[in-house]
Structure 1
């Protein structure tokens, strides 16, 4: 089924109204929360008011004469279907499954990714045993990784396991949850280890991004320098950093490393200002970075208590082949 559209013209008496409130008044078939979600998903545009695909702020004020177009995506099945997508299973029992997620795999269905997700693969592999706490579109999902971040994830196979694992992820310090990442970053810190304690909130201008902002949610990342890669002049052009999460905010490591001046290689969202540094790489390293095509971030360590037995489980996943090839090329 094709998408449908609704068009709203702003009358003189509506000038200055909030976008989301005006649409809620003019399109009563849709709730204000649904309209807000459509706005933030880029499905609402104002003719001539912004470049194509710009995400509008639901609170912006409309003007007399504005023509607003709302695109309504076609309805989708409420429950995702199983798909035969290969999974790299690190561990599995009756309560949980630990997988090593590849790059490019979205965790759960969302706008633009209705199929081909980790959830679709899990449904095919686990059948009806997945926990239902996460809802029909996120069965068993306790935590997430970005689409282009690789590495370890744990998924709950029943509601009891889901509740116990979620509590550990919520009470990270008390539960002893361990989440470690490896990142290839531009430059090298001037010391061997440190802590980034910088609150995060939605970016003030680009809503799909996060930013360090006063008054944001607490975010703490501990890091350690593992290896430095010099350029032809012997100056550090890149390094391998291990990060341990004390909190788990959206894009936390990516934003924090960029905040201290060492954004992740290949990060098109938070590292765009460092593209010129690629000229300092050797031709093989530049080729490996181009081939990577994503942020060089990998969830390498995952440790937690088993939700039923209480036994300590700890898993390590080596660098995926694309990051490993980049590291080798950076070493020269």
Structure 2
């Protein structure tokens, strides 16, 4: 079942036997291994939609952690690609790079990446649909066409978009293998000691506030962020950091810097607001990766936006 990619609109049913090397593996991991051109999110969506069948019957997302047994036959229906139900809305996108396979854009602070509560028709996805005329990958689901990774609403900077499923798969693999190199710039309170360091902790949902993430000693996912101090303010109240996240957990840099005792200026969730910077001072400056089709290395950068630059000029 190697290298199978159905064409746009094609329906197919695959049969997968559990061979000795997969015996005892989780179902979702087994499916990802056998269907390497599909992301884990896509596999979870297929399970949730009832497209996976075994001798036990139709399986669902709750079965994703079940252990597969030697000789078991699984039948998987790969659904037809469906047109997006989202409405394309013309937006003024700042495009940093574009070809027939991918786009790299500068996401402004304040804009959400995909539809969510309160942002049903003004997400970045709506603008991408208008620009690309619905020629975006569907591996992330109908609500997230083209989205390979994301930035928080109030974080600005470089964002990578896939125009078709093959590009999406290769890019997702690079993110999963930690071969995409990301550089962020952050303005924080205080001065980290040492000025150059590495943060390694587990991050998980805060049990008391589900919309927040928190550091945990026993639960959550392992996460790493390296940082170095670029500048310190004249008044000593702020520092300008360069951050290199080696993993990609939700709110990772924001949580890590808060845990360090040097929260990001303007971060109203993990730090505190600031009158001169009404959003969190975090910017995705650089993204380095391999082009998913040509395999040429790419390095895309976007300098600081005006609001963060103004803050630096005033305090540093």
TM-score, normalised via structure 2 length: 0.72
Give the corresponding residue for 1:213: 216
Shift of 1:316: 1.2
Shift of 1:128: 2.2
Q: Does 1:200 align with 2:185?
A: no
- Cα deviation, 1:223-247, whole Å, max 9, x if unaligned, reads 010000031xxxx210000100110
Q: Are 1:184 and 1:241, in contact at CA under 8 Å, matched by a contact in 2?
A: yes
Q: Residue 121 of structure 1: which of 109, 124, 127 is its match?
A: 127
Give the corresponding residue for 2:311: 326
Shift of 1:79: 1.3
Unaligned runs of 5+ in 1: 1-32, 34-76, 276-288
Q: Does 1:270 align with 2:273?
A: no
Q: Residue 310 of structure 1: which of 295, 302, 305 is its match?
A: 295
Closer/same/farther in 2, CA of residues 301 and 291 from structure 1, 3 Å limit:
same
Q: Are 2:196 and 2:228, in contact at CA under 8 Å, matched by a contact in 1?
A: yes
Q: Residue 293 of structure 1: which of 272, 278, 290 is its match?
A: 278
Shift of 1:191: 2.3
Give the corresponding residue for 1:181: 184
- Cα deviation, 1:151-171, whole Å, max 9, x if unaligned, reads 000000011100000111111
- Cα deviation, 1:248-293, whole Å, max 9, x if unaligned, reads 0000000000101100000100113xx6xxxxxxxxxxxxx42431
Give the 5 Å matches for 1:223-238.
223-231=227-235, 236-238=236-238
Q: Residue 149 of structure 1: which of 145, 155, 161 is its match?
A: 155
Unaligned runs of 5+ in 2: 1-47, 49-82
Q: Report the count of equivalent residues.
A: 234
Shift of 1:136: 1.3
Shift of 1:78: 6.8
How large is the Cα RMSD of the aligned pairs? Answer: 1.5
Shift of 1:110: 1.5
Matches of 2:214 and 2:138 in 1, distance apart? 32
Q: Are 1:85 and 1:116, in contact at CA under 8 Å, matched by a contact in 2?
A: no
Q: Are 2:268 and 2:280, in contact at CA under 8 Å, matched by a contact in 1?
A: yes
Shift of 1:141: 0.3
Matches of 2:89 and 2:177 in 1, distance apart? 33
TM-score, normalised via structure 1 length: 0.69
Matches of 2:243 and 2:185 in 1, distance apart? 6
Give the 5 Å matches for 1:87-166.
87-166=93-172
Matches of 1:188 and 1:177 in 2, distance apart? 28
Matches of 1:192 and 1:261 in 2, distance apart? 13
Tell me, what secondary structure is at the counterpart of 2:257? Answer: helix
Q: Are 1:200 and 1:212, in contact at CA under 8 Å, matched by a contact in 2?
A: yes
